[in-house]
Structures are given as structure tokens and as C-alpha cells.
Structure 1
């Protein structure tokens, strides 16, 4: 686009580092052609690689059959859909959410965007940890807010609470936490969440201004080894929960999720009204009517945890046996191994020459790592192992001896 047609806001958002790297990779590189070439194994994004289930397709098909004249009318939140989402929140998290707390959105993306604007004023700071989801920085900038980044502990992938505390200033308005984390798969433990809550409470009192927490929980139902997920919302009442069905249903292109203020949040009645107003004025950020009609039945479908835990275990064991350093993720469907080359982009290129596509750590503002999606088929995973081994061996040949 010619620069004369760009607003300053567009230029700033488009230039956000992770967004720019992602856009260049997805649109300007040969990725779109390569991913469809025979023999190329694609481990980049969390896209489905198996056909959708017959049950999923049938639910969507039936949701398109009108049952009355307003079936496809404007819909701020179908009552049955909202009730189904509320019931699942209560069931999974054990928190007393009410239907009035649950605002259906066009995926978790919109939920985060709305939450930022509900409590953030232009110039306010938003703290989040690296490695992040691609779009935090761009979404924060689009809202007129200021991103403030801190790193997690690179060995354990735990939140660095001291770094978060040091990053908080009188302008801090929001902290974003993503658990289970994309890309590391880390689920933050109760003790960490309790300490984070105490830290935010103390900082709010010190600054004389409330700090809010946005809990990005797109993967909160994808947890392994029988673990119980504990939400940050449970420990800090001034929290928003953002959820997306695109992960558990393996259908990221079908946009539906929700934003829910904590049921313990004081004065949340006014926030409820503000959320709906922003959804309307932000471009009607409610799911399509057909997706809302489908939601009660979509809630009955379950993610195949045993299959993805098996994929995780096969891949982790294989990569470790080759020599890669990789932590076992506790949730999500990603691995975040250490690159055997300091230059992760160079190693990603080496893997691509072997016919394996993954994403570099620098795309997550964490150079020296790379992300592997586990959504490909088990057959693809097994076929990839000798290729990962070949790329590792070549990297070892080019790495100077210490």
C-alpha cells in the first residue's frame, strides 16, 4: 500500500515485530506454495490436518436450517448458546459465572481486543511475557495502548514475577497472562498465580489505580497427564477471561469464543454494558448467528486428549533422543524446543531444506528456539523424525566446538 494512504496507527500496528515477521512469512515467502507440495511436512500453525468429524459437520449443517424468521438476524448473544458457555465455564473452572458475565465474541482474538479497550485508555501500558502469542503487540497498539514486554524464565518457562513487578509503572493498566501458554505449553502453578495476584493488588494500591488482568485461556481444556487447569481468574477478581473454541474444536477458521469478567469483579455491571457497546461499535464483534445456534451442541464435542498426549510423547522422546533440548509441555498442542543453532532462522531454513516447516523463535520474540505444532497426523509426525535428525546432524557439523 502506498504510504500516503496509511494512517499512523496502521503503520505502527503493521510494523509490530511479531506481526511483521508473521505476515512476511505467511504472505510474502514461499510458504503458501511449499505447504501444499508433495512430501513437505507442515508443523507451522495450529491448523487441522485431519478431516473434521462427521458430528462437527452435521452440527454446523443443522445450524444453517432456519427455525424461525429471525434465525439469521442480529444476535448479541443467543440465550441457549450463552447458557451452554456459562455451564461449561462453571464445570471446567468451578467458578460461579452467570450468563450475564459471558459475552460471545468472534473468537478469542476479539475477546482480548475488547477487554483491552474496556479498561484501557490511550497511552496506558500493557505488560505481557515473552514468548507471546503473535498478535498481542499489534492488538495492544491498535487499541492505542503501549506494550511492555518481559521474558519468562528461559529454562523453566515460568512467569518471571520479579520482572513483571519491575515493569509495572503508574501507567500500567493491564497485565496479560496466557496459560496454558502458546508456544511453551507451560501451565502456571497455583503458587505463581497467587503471588501474581498479590503483586497486582499491591501495585494497584501503590499507584492508586487498578491494574486489570486478561487471562488468555484459548487452551484451558487442552491439558495433559490428568492435570487440573487453574485459571488466574480464580485468584484475582479484577480479571477478564478470554476463550476461543477454535482450539478445542480444531477449527480456527470458524470464529466463536467469549469474554467473561470474573464473577468476583466489583462493579462488573457497568463493565458488562461497556463490553457490548464496544462489540457493536468495534465492527459487530459477535459470532455469526449460525455459530451461536450451533454452540450448545458444539459444547458436547470433546478434544481428543489421549491422541494429542500420544503425539506429544512420541515427538518429545524422538527429539530428545536425537539431541534436541525440549521441555515436556503440560498443555496446548505445541512444542518449543531449543534450536541447535544460535541463529534459529538459519536452522528453520535447514529444516525446510529437509522438507519440514516449523516457525522460528524470533517470531515469538524469543530467538534461539522454534515452535512445532502437533496438529499434523501421527503419520506425519513419524515421517518427520528422520528429517529432524538430519537437520540436527548438519547443525552439529556447522557449530564450532566450544
Structure 2
């Protein structure tokens, strides 16, 4: 009887495949010039936050030590190892001045998994989730996969701050979660305390007005990567109903080694019920705890990070060099990206020009923000130096094409 005219994939899978942002990133990974040339010697690869130099010896040693079995159960099933939770909670206390408890740290296979864990813990199918553009490009598919409705608002285009008026206008009785990413990927903006306080008041008022709690999901994958001696502030300092997602893949520039967590602040009401819900979901979502070796290594991993000073020097070099060559560049306060205005406003055309010169960056259309492109500061120092004359040649080519047109 054949397939009875039915698609072999579920409606959910088909919907996810049709999401424009997901479709664009899939096409980029499969069919772009970068996908064909990414292993070509001599190119300048600024695409993703991947390492382009050997990992830190301390990182390798921490994993090597954790790999050596101490007992017969060393590689047995692991959920939330007490030593790992204690180390993560202590680090959060030191960073934010909030007395996080180990029992409120739920270890996950990276911050990537912490986000859907939070969504599924507090939201029911059909609930709305607000996030700001430009976004991390996986927010929308994660929201849809959870059976939720994505609602997008744009940031302030001059400051890259949250647009509270736009968020307020987007709030409805169906709003259950507002996602905040600080330091922000791709803009590098760290939201100031006054803005976070105003956001907290806005969400509290809307929760009372709708007689339904709105949760804030704070994606803080880069909260240790801040520049110029800045003090990072988390939304959890101002809004008790905040779930905090974190990833060690950025702190150590090792995104292929998956470990992160979702943390509940001690100010969150009814934490006992939330703890139980998260534990149940971690099993039901496919035992999304980090592997044993990563959990054993975590106390050591909390003692060091990648060289943030080196990232800052790369930021300064690129901002100054690109500005001298005619680019409009915002100086990021954190994370490890530059979000640059594309000459003439056409990011796809200009990133193609850069690619012809052997320089690969991400166009802003992948972040639903045309007119920009993103540069990753995780490129090597040598790669950055080699790229500077190429960035100059590309903007000259673009200017010449504009005049001829």
C-alpha cells in the first residue's frame, strides 16, 4: 500500500525544517562557499566561536586526570555529581554575590540543553516566548520544538540594548518566558543594571496584570568573558523568577566538550517544586546530564578560563583597524564577537566579497538582522593580522562596485 500518501516525518520535524532562520543556517552549513572551503589552508575563518589554536594545557590535564578511574563505578550512570554542583554554585556566588545552593544547580550537556530544560519546566504548549533580535540562531527552533510560540522583538539599533517598550507591547496573557542573553551574542552588549531593574518591574507588573507568572530565562554563556574590568550583572540579581543558563564551552573555548547547567536563584519562590520538575525533565529529555568525565573535571575547570585579556587585545586591534579602513564597528563589552555594519547595507553581498578574498564571516541575515556581519574573536592572532589588508581590499572593492553601479 506504499506510504499511504503520508510524509515520513512528523509535523514537528517538518515545521522545524521550514523555520526560516533554521533553514538559512542549515543551508549555510551545507551549501555555502564556507562549507566548501573551511579546511582550505590560509583562509581567515571568523565564522564560529571555535578554537583555532591548541587547547590550554590546564584544560587537557583536568580532563586527563578525570579520565583515570578511581573505582568500579567511575563510568557508571551520573546525574548531578555533588562535587560538580558545589563548585558551580560557589563560582556563581563569587561572580554575582547571590548565595546559590548546590541543589539548585542542574547540570546539563552544555548551555544548549539548559535552555529547552528551562522552557519545558515552566511553559505549556501554546505559551509564548519572547526573545530579542538579533538572536542566537537556535532560540526559535528550541522554542518550537518545545511546542511553544516564538515572539520576536528588535533591540535598540543604536545601543543594542533591550527595547523595553517593544517587549511591553509584545506581552500578552499567553506570555510565559522572556529570554535575555547577556553578554549578548552577536552584539557583545552587556545590559546595565538600570535596564535590568526596569525589565524586572515590567515583568512583575505584567505578571500581576495577567494573574500569571512570567519567567525570565537568562542565557549567560559568556558571563565570564567581559572586557575593560567591567562588572557583569545578571537579571537574577533583580528578578526572583529567573532561570540562569550557563555553558563552560565558551569559558574554556571547548564547545565540543558538552557541560553547562541551569541554576535557580535562592530568591525564586517554590524552588522545591521547580527542583523536582527539572530533575524529572532531565531524565525524560534523554538523560541530559553531562558525561561522567566532564562532571569529575568541573571543579578544576572552575579555577581558570581562556585568556580574556588576549580576546580584549584582539577586539581592540580589529575595532581600530576596521574603523581606520572605513567600517562602522560597535565595541563589544563582552562575549567574543564583533557585530559590524556591512558597507552599503547588503550583508550577503559583502560577505561574498570577503569570501573572494579568503575571509569568512557570518552575514547578519543568519541572525535575522540584515545589514551587519559577525566576526569571531576566537581566530588566532596570526589569522587576524593576515586578515587586515584583506578587509581593506574588500571594502575598497565594495566601494568601487557602488560607484560603478
Q: Which TM-score applies when normalising by structure 2?
A: 0.97
Match of 1:36 in 2: 39
TM-aligned CA deviation for residue 15 of structure 1: 1.9
Distance change (3 Å), C-alpha of 1:280 and 1:391: same
Structure 1 stretches of at least 4 aligned residues deviating more than 6 Å after TM superposition: none
Q: Deviations over 1:282-316 (max 9, x none)?
A: 01110001100111111112221110100000000
Matches within 5 A, 1:1-400: 4-399=7-402
Q: Distance in 2 between matches of 1:201 and 1:391?
A: 48
Q: Distance in 2 between matches of 1:194 and 1:40?
A: 44
Whether the aligned pair in 2 keeps the contact of 1:179 and 1:220 (CA below 8 Å) is yes
TM-aligned CA deviation for residue 203 of structure 1: 0.4
Whether the aligned pair in 2 keeps the contact of 1:35 and 1:41 (CA below 8 Å) is no
Q: Deviations over 1:143-175 (max 9, x none)?
A: 000000000011110110000000001110000
Q: Distance in 1 between matches of 2:61 and 2:30?
A: 33
Whether the aligned pair in 2 keeps the contact of 1:176 and 1:214 (CA below 8 Å) is yes
TM-aligned CA deviation for residue 268 of structure 1: 1.0
Q: Distance in 2 between matches of 1:248 and 1:355?
A: 28
Q: Distance in 1 between matches of 2:403 and 2:146?
A: 46
- 172-181 vs 14-23, which moves further: 14-23
- 31-40 vs 373-382, which moves further: 31-40
TM-aligned CA deviation for residue 400 of structure 1: 5.5
Secondary structure of the equivalent of 1:399?
helix
Q: Distance in 1 between matches of 2:361 and 2:400?
A: 21
TM-aligned CA deviation for residue 396 of structure 1: 1.2
Secondary structure of the equivalent of 2:392?
helix
TM-aligned CA deviation for residue 343 of structure 1: 1.9
- Give unpaired runs (5+ residues) of structure 1: none
